[in-house]
Amino acid sequence: MQFIITAHDGAGTLERRMQARPRHLENLGKIKGRILCAGGLLDENGRMKGSVLVMEFENRALLEEYLRSEPYLLEHVWEKVEVEPMNVVLLNGEKVGG
């Protein structure tokens, strides 16, 4: 099952985000086979203000387990996190789902 995670940073957390970023990337590296797409949301000046991840887990409980280890949550960078199930149909222009 695929999920789209949209996470918005709290106000004034850019410095904290940059400090936590190496731990965030290291944590993602542990589950790289589950990541279909990931990147930073940008403000009008090109500065990061959040994140979007498209991930695949067998179920929501396993996704929640990952989120409990996410440095951006543990270090209070992400203020609001939305998780929605998603049906990935195309990946890199190739049909992968229905």
Torsion angle, CA of 91/51/56/71, rounded to 10 degrees? 150
Alpha carbon distance 18, 72 (integer Å): 10
Alpha carbon distance 60, 2 (integer Å): 9
What structural domains does the chain harbor? 2-95 (3.30.70.1060)
pLDDT of 30: 95
Total-model pTM: 0.90
What are the pLDDT digits (tens) for 3-54? Answer: 999 999 999 999 999 999 999 999 999 998 999 999 999 999 999 999 999 9
- For residue 91, what pLDDT band results from cuts at 50, 70 and 90? confident
Whole-Å CA distances, 56 to 43, 47, 79: 27, 27, 23
Radius of gyration of the chain (CA): 14
pLDDT of 98: 79
pLDDT of 92: 86
